[in-house]
């Protein structure tokens, strides 16, 4: 067993660099409202404290607390649907007075812990798990996913479900059952389109398709395309080295809606250009590579599955957020981790990376 380290620099340094770049971009995006920027600085500081607390506490505490956290999360998701605060037609927040708490951010952590805990208790089957073997876990995942979908928040519900599915697939699933599930998903796609998606969600998908193929768009689709078109203009106008800090016209003239939250990447790309974007991609890649490297070094299944969940969670958020900004994915409310404005996202991402750092510092090598 190797001696314990006090800090994993390969994990922490990219994270710190991403947070610093995020604060620079938010300072520019919130130039018209400095008080919001100072609030974000406070949330960054709190997220760092959460990261440190989780990093240096006993990870068995979180393992033993998995089910209480999961149940509490379900209760909070139900409360959101009953007494939650409605913003922009969606009921996704609990008003705590000093902040709007987005419960779905907690769900991202609780589901990762739930899957890791449940599969840690299961013996690995030689032929792989079938659907009946993982039925309790499947139901446990679908419950919070459904509650988030009802807010409505299709993007986050798909994200949470995808992270959980990747964690399950990283164990051992019977191949025939896997093929069967894939066929069911393909066959049920038209039903989901007809009865599972709301009108505005269909509109966003249609708007993306018409924009990609340069087809004539209805006035309604043009409205849905506005966010993405303005973001694409911002990203493209950054060129190689950007327009300079606080010099982005799309940002400063506020042509980009939600430019400090979901579309913060467009602000960064306009002001720092391709070279800045390449640096940001490299930092996220270093973070993900470090987590992937740890997966092969831990001995227990619980830790390995948390690492798989964390890596998938970060990667999907980065891909989906940047994909919607540059017009290759529909617009959904997925923040860019450690970059977008918002306290809930920062706190729970800090907790997730704290778990990863904890595992890195205290892992047992095989």
Among 267-276, 305-314, 322-331, the minimum mean pLDDT is found in 322-331
The predicted model gives 335-347 an average pLDDT of 91
Answer whether residue 4 is part of any domain. Answer: no
- The string of pLDDT tens digits covering residues 181-217 is 777 778 776 777 676 666 666 666 666 666 655 655 5
Answer whether residue 1 is part of any domain. Answer: no
Answer whether residue 348 is part of any domain. Answer: yes
pTM of the model: 0.88
Q: The tokens 């971009």 sit on which residue?
A: 25
Decide which of 172 and 288 is more confident: 288
Answer whether residue 3 is part of any domain. Answer: no
Answer whether residue 331 is part of any domain. Answer: yes
5 forms bridges with which residues in the sheet? none
- The string of pLDDT tens digits covering residues 134-177 is 889 999 999 999 999 998 888 899 999 999 999 998 887 777 76
Q: Is the pLDDT of residue 304 over 50?
A: yes
pLDDT of residue 267: 92
pLDDT of residue 279: 96
Angle at 113 between CA 107 and CA 118, to 5 degrees: 120
Which domain range does residue 302 map to?
A: 9-362
Residues 66 and 306: beta-carbon distance below 8 Å: no
The predicted model gives 64-89 an average pLDDT of 91
Average pLDDT of every residue of the chain:
85
The predicted model gives 297-307 an average pLDDT of 91
Structural domain count of the chain? 1
Give the separation between CA 87 and CA 103, rounded to whole angstroms. 14
Q: The tokens 């989906």 sit on which residue?
A: 320
Answer whether residue 2 is part of any domain. Answer: no
Answer whether residue 84 is part of any domain. Answer: yes
pLDDT of residue 133: 83
Answer whether residue 241 is part of any domain. Answer: yes
Q: Is the pLDDT of residue 34 over 70?
A: yes
Residues 360 and 8: beta-carbon distance below 8 Å: yes
Query: What proportion of the chain, given as a percentage, has pLDDT over 90?
Result: 49
Residues 6+ apart with CB under 8 A from 311: 288, 291, 292, 295
């Amino acid at each position: 067993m190797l001696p314990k380290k006090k800090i994993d620099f390969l994990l922490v340094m990219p994270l710190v660099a991403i947070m610093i770049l995020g604060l620079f971009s938010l300072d520019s995006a919130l130039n018209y409202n400095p008080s919001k920027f100072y609030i974000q600085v406070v949330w960054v500081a709190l997220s760092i404290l959460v990261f440190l607390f989780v990093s240096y506490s006993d990870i068995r505490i979180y393992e033993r607390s998995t089910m209480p956290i999961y149940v509490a999360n379900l209760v909070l998701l139900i409360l959101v649907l009953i007494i939650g605060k409605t913003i922009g037609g969606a009921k996704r927040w609990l008003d705590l007075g000093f902040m709007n708490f987005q419960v779905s951010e907690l769900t991202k952590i609780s589901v990762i812990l739930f899957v890791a805990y449940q599969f840690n208790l299961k013996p690995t089957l030689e032929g792989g798990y079938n659907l009946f073997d993982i039925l309790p876990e499947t139901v446990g995942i679908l419950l919070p996913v459904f509650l988030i979908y009802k807010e409505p928040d299709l993007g986050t519900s798909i994200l949470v479900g995808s992270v959980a599915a990747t964690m399950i697939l990283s164990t051992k699933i019977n191949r025939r059952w896997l093929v069967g599930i894939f066929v069911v998903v393909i066959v049920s796609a038209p039903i989901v389109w007809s009865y599972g998606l709301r009108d505005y969600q269909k509109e966003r998908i249609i708007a993306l398709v018409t924009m990609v193929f340069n087809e004539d768009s209805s006035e309604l689709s043009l409205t849905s395309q506005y966010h993405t078109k303005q973001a694409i203009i911002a990203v493209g106008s950054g060129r190689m080295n950007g327009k300079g800090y606080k010099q982005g016209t799309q940002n400063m003239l506020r042509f980009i809606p939600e430019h400090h939250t979901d579309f913060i990447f467009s602000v960064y790309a306009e002001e720092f250009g391709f070279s800045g974007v390449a640096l940001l991609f490299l930092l996220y890649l270093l973070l993900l590579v470090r987590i992937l490297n740890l997966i092969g070094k831990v001995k227990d299944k619980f830790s390995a599955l948390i690492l798989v969940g964390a890596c998938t969670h970060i990667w999907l958020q980065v891909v989906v957020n940047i994909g919607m900004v540059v017009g290759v994915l529909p617009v959904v409310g997925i923040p860019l981790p450690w970059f977008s404005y918002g306290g809930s996202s920062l706190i729970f991402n800090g907790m997730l990376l704290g778990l990863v750092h904890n595992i890195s510092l205290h892992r047992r090598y095989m």
